[in-house]
Amino acid sequence: MNVANLQLEGLMMALASVNNLLVRKGLVSVDEIDEALHRAESAFASERRLYDDMSPAQRDAVCFPLRLLRMANKGEADAGIPGFPDLTRMVARGKEPYNDQA
Q: What is the pLDDT of residues 18-43, one digit of tens each?
A: 999 999 999 999 999 999 999 998 88
Residue 101 maps to a domain: no
Residue 101 has pLDDT above 90, yes or no: no
Residue 100 maps to a domain: no
Segment 60-82 mean pLDDT: 83
CB neighbours of 63 closer than 8 A, spacing ≥ 6? 41, 44, 45
Number of domains into which the chain is organized = 1
Residue 75 maps to a domain: yes
Q: What is the mean pLDDT of the chain?
A: 85
Q: Phi/psi class of residue 44: alpha, beta or left (left: φ > 0; alpha: ψ in -120 to 50)? A: alpha
Q: What's the CA gap between 52 and 48, in Å, rounded?
A: 6
Q: Which domain holds residue 28?
A: 3-95
Asked if 15 and 87 count as a contact pair (C-beta separation under 8 A), the reply is no
DSSP helix, strand, coil percent of the chain (3-state; round to 5): 75, 0, 25
pLDDT confidence of residue 97: 64
pLDDT confidence of residue 77: 53
pLDDT confidence of residue 81: 87
Residue 91 maps to a domain: yes
